[in-house]
Structure 1
Amino acid sequence: MTQPRKLKLGFILHGVGRTWNDWRHPGRDVTASTDFAHYKQQTLLAERGKFDFVFVADSLSITEKSSPHYLNRVEPITILSALAAVTSHIGIVGTLTVSYSEPFNVARQFASLDHISGGRAGWNVVTSWLGDTAANFSKAEHPAHDVRYRIAAEYLDVVQGLWDSWEDDALVGDKDSGVFVDPDKLHRLDHQGEFFQVRGPLNIKRGPQGHPVIFQAGGSNEGRNFASKRADAIFAAAATFEEGASYYADVKKRARGFGRAPHTLFVLPGITPFIGDTDADAEARYREVAASESLDTGFGFLARTFNDHDFRQYDLDGPFPDVAHIGQNSQQSGANRILAEVRAEQLTLRQVVERLATPRGAFVGSPETVADALQAWFEGGAADGFVIFEPLPGQLELFVDKVVPILQTRGLFRDAYEGETFRDSLGLEVPANRYTAARDARAAA
């Protein structure tokens, strides 16, 4: 019997905050981005709310103009390993770039995290768009956009091949015979590709999930193809229901084209809900944040989207500058979205900056109003779930205590975790080990 579809919920751990001014709120701890107690408190709160996962983003390049959270923050695998020890069910997902790391190390790190957590690891596969990252890794230049996605595809092939290099029963541990590992079930990968040459096998056995859950944030054409073909979940960006529904339909169609069942791919827009006792109270909280934001936040988001380009050099009230050539080798989907809005509405630079500084979103209101909006997107074909950003201290607790019970009463969200692993929670199968599957196929032939 088919189980009813349920919302998937994640929470992004953003320390001192997402914007350039969040840290100045009286309720923020300016050390939160490096404070384990803060990460632990928020993760345990999300787990109490039966969230599917918490997520740690990352960036490998900063300037003095970077947002405070990214200026001073912990490394994802380190904090996730610590969080694994103090949680029991919630998935723990971290960003790690394929452009500035090695497949063997990454395969080992996430396999280790999967073992430490009892099968709750997830990897957000990114290609890195900030060009000056190259200078931190002894590289002469940043790879072009299309090259980065070719690297990503081969990289993921290698990592998943290394995870499979141990069959699930390869570790024998027979003390009487003296056999620790079955050599017939330990495999060299011997990968020889365009970008990587990796022998294997990995020096740690397959984790409880077989493969950690794969996340991606594909927005460009190449990104959407990669995510639709390879990811288990997609971080999406959608300002409106219509934009969300269009993206949702597109990536699900692409997944079908790659031979996948669309329900095995979860589309998760990032949202920033403002919750109050009433709609008016929530609107006041949004206005509080909007009033505290300066153009610095808008300029900051704009610069990051266009490869740290300096937009302050232009006339703030003049036409938006011609920067399309920069956007094609940066965060292409975000750049294209902004440029499309500029062309459609003839926006000035000030208008773009103000929109980026204080986006309102569709999730502002009482707990019932926010739950109604979540349900409308979920049932209307715009999302399989959401990744929650906390715009003000205390908003995560309000979501857990006020919104989640409404979703549970409506049968839209779990009352208890479905199993022990992250894949159990998501309803995803453990990927078959390629070597075991080949052996079974030969035996059945």
Structure 2
Amino acid sequence: MSKPKNRQMSLIAFLQAQNCSNYVGSWRHPASMTDFMTPEYYQRIARTLEDGKFDMAFFDDRLAMPDIYGDDHRETVANGVRAVKMDPTTILMAMACATTHLGLGSTYSTTYYEPFHVARLFATLDLMTKGRVAWNVVTSLNDSEAHNFGREEHLEHDLRYDRADEFMEAVLGLWDSWEDDALILDKASGRFADPDKVHRLNYQGKYFKSKGPLPVPRSTQGHPVILQAGASGRGMTFASRWAELVFAAYPNLEAGKKTYASYKKSIADAGRDPDLVKIAPAVKFVVGESEAHAQDKLALAASTSRPIDGLSLLCEVLNVDFAARPYEQPFTDAELAAVSWHSLRDKVIQASGKKNPSVKDFVEASARGTVKEGPNFVGTPTQVADQMEDWFTGGACDGFVIQALHVPGSYEDFTRLVVPELQRRGLHRKEYAGDTLRENLGLPRPNAGDWKRTDKKAVAA
């Protein structure tokens, strides 16, 4: 798959507004900072990422502490298994104050919030950062989140995406309330804005209604960039319809090529230009001044994991209590159909070779909570850059989501050692392309109503 010579990879840092990175053991690492409840912690990371000319710092999120294992939160709290979960949108603003170009993305759920709230929040964030914000659209995962919002149980998988489609129509419609030149601000005449250029939405779907207009004008970049990480069949369909940057997960280059091609075809089938949607897989990076040094770093990070990490995280994302069943008892077809994260379930079935895997199979095949989960690029700067270049030029991705095994050291090592090598090869920028996230991602600024013209399934407002 040939690529233009001037094509450069996108770099996204995977963050959590919590006591650890996405790798739980990171908080136990002797070099990790422990001031994660201060703005300085996140600003320190932000400055490092901007020095490395990263496109964006992105926050994943859950709306509940992991407490499904044993139907209790005690093990989570005692072991620091993502026990702290702060609102990432507030932290984005602290990072924005310490940077001028770095993009800032945050997760917000379509299941537990309302379209108007999300539309106003992210439109305001985008204005206050001068066009550097992205929204990661999720449908959430489990009953613990439902209980925190007064619901009895989490919605069924495909239903969540059906509702999310309407949620997106409402949010994008609200973001289109103001035309770009609606503001007049003529003090002499007293004319503030042109009412003919501010539009009521009057959205009405099966699940959501929203009158509008949104009382927030459009930002420099039009509206926030849309992120998504759907990996199941229904999730990929949703991402192909809405996402401008897709977070992918695949174990190796060959699998990545197939998934990348599948995503691009699905995006085209949805009536959109696949060249205007970035796809970036999550990868753990461990780099050292020598290969032996890098392997020692990986071994140290691996030593920080605990069995409870994987058990707690699996229960969280599958919405199943593993403590309530024998370790090697196979799940029934009905039990497997009810798990929340379909793509992880399917991955375990494929990896284990069992139609009905057990708890033991889920733990071993997923490697959840360990450094073995997902691909690791390990070695010297040259060796790591070689692996990245193979994936990038080999038709597997448009960039990478960098996962940290300790904080802030993983990001500092990558910026100090790998970024210069990527820049030397012409694979990564030396200067930012512009002031907005869209400019730096190479995405066009949307005009009001663009999503209706390109989306075959859109419901007219």
TM-score above 0.5: yes
Alignment partners' CA distance in 2, 1:284 and 1:314: 37
- Tell whether the 8 Å contact from 2:349 to 2:357 is kept in structure 1 after alignment: no
Query: Which of 162, 170, 195 matches 2:207?
Result: 195
- Tell whether the 8 Å contact from 1:341 to 1:347 is kept in structure 2 after alignment: no
- Tell whether the 8 Å contact from 2:104 to 2:132 is kept in structure 1 after alignment: yes
SS at match of 2:419: helix
Please say if 1:310 is aligned against 2:325.
no
Query: Which of 54, 59, 64 matches 2:57?
Result: 54
Alignment partners' CA distance in 1, 2:310 and 2:302: 11
- Tell whether the 8 Å contact from 2:333 to 2:356 is kept in structure 1 after alignment: no
Residue of structure 2 equivalent to 1:433: 448
Q: Normalization by structure 2: what TM-score?
A: 0.89
Alignment partners' CA distance in 1, 2:402 and 2:381: 14
> Structure 1 residues 312 and 19 mapped into 2: Cα distance closer, same or farther (>3 Å)?
farther
Alignment of 1:10-409 (within 5 A): 10-14=12-16, 15-32=19-36, 34-62=37-65, 63=67, 64=73, 65-66=75-76, 68=80, 70-307=82-319, 309-316=320-327, 318=328, 321-322=331-332, 325-326=335-336, 328-343=338-353, 349-350=359-360, 352-354=362-364, 355-360=367-372, 361-393=375-407, 394-409=409-424
Following TM superposition, by how much is the alpha carbon of 1:366 offset from its aligned partner in structure 2, in angstroms? 1.0
Following TM superposition, by how much is the alpha carbon of 1:82 offset from its aligned partner in structure 2, in angstroms? 2.0
Following TM superposition, by how much is the alpha carbon of 1:349 offset from its aligned partner in structure 2, in angstroms? 4.4
SS at match of 1:292: coil
Instruction: Report how many aligned residue pairs link the two structures.
Output: 433
Larger mean CA deviation between 136-145 and 81-90 belongs to: 136-145
The one-letter amino acid paired with 1:52 is: D
Alignment partners' CA distance in 1, 2:315 and 2:86: 23
Residues 166-216 of structure 1, C-alpha deviations (whole Å, 9 max, x = no match): 001111111121110101001000011111111000011011111200000
- Tell whether the 8 Å contact from 1:165 to 1:189 is kept in structure 2 after alignment: yes
Following TM superposition, by how much is the alpha carbon of 1:352 offset from its aligned partner in structure 2, in angstroms? 4.3
> Structure 1 residues 107 and 347 mapped into 2: Cα distance closer, same or farther (>3 Å)?
closer
Query: Which of 6, 26, 39 matches 1:4?
Result: 6
Q: Normalization by structure 1: what TM-score?
A: 0.92
Identity %: 39
Following TM superposition, by how much is the alpha carbon of 1:312 offset from its aligned partner in structure 2, in angstroms? 3.5
Following TM superposition, by how much is the alpha carbon of 1:344 offset from its aligned partner in structure 2, in angstroms? 5.5
The one-letter amino acid paired with 2:353 is: R
- Tell whether the 8 Å contact from 2:177 to 2:198 is kept in structure 1 after alignment: yes
The one-letter amino acid paired with 2:396 is: A
Unaligned runs of 5+ in 2: 68-72, 454-461
Following TM superposition, by how much is the alpha carbon of 1:140 offset from its aligned partner in structure 2, in angstroms? 3.1
Alignment partners' CA distance in 1, 2:97 and 2:26: 29
Alignment partners' CA distance in 2, 1:282 and 1:408: 21
RMSD: 2.2
Alignment partners' CA distance in 2, 1:348 and 1:126: 27
> Structure 1 residues 347 and 220 mapped into 2: Cα distance closer, same or farther (>3 Å)?
closer
Following TM superposition, by how much is the alpha carbon of 1:304 offset from its aligned partner in structure 2, in angstroms? 2.2
Alignment partners' CA distance in 1, 2:335 and 2:413: 43
Alignment partners' CA distance in 2, 1:69 and 1:404: 31
Greater RCO structure (CA 8 Å; 6+ sep) = 2
Alignment partners' CA distance in 2, 1:347 and 1:323: 10
SS at match of 2:247: strand
Please say if 1:424 is aligned against 2:436.
no
> Structure 1 residues 275 and 114 mapped into 2: Cα distance closer, same or farther (>3 Å)?
same
SS at match of 1:386: strand
> Structure 1 residues 175 and 52 mapped into 2: Cα distance closer, same or farther (>3 Å)?
same
> Structure 1 residues 120 and 377 mapped into 2: Cα distance closer, same or farther (>3 Å)?
same
SS at match of 1:341: helix
Residue of structure 2 equivalent to 1:441: none
Following TM superposition, by how much is the alpha carbon of 1:371 offset from its aligned partner in structure 2, in angstroms? 0.6
> Structure 1 residues 328 and 69 mapped into 2: Cα distance closer, same or farther (>3 Å)?
same
The one-letter amino acid paired with 1:25 is: H
Residues 94-145 of structure 1, C-alpha deviations (whole Å, 9 max, x = no match): 0000000011111111110111101001000000011221111122332211
- Tell whether the 8 Å contact from 1:52 to 1:90 is kept in structure 2 after alignment: yes
Following TM superposition, by how much is the alpha carbon of 1:271 offset from its aligned partner in structure 2, in angstroms? 0.9
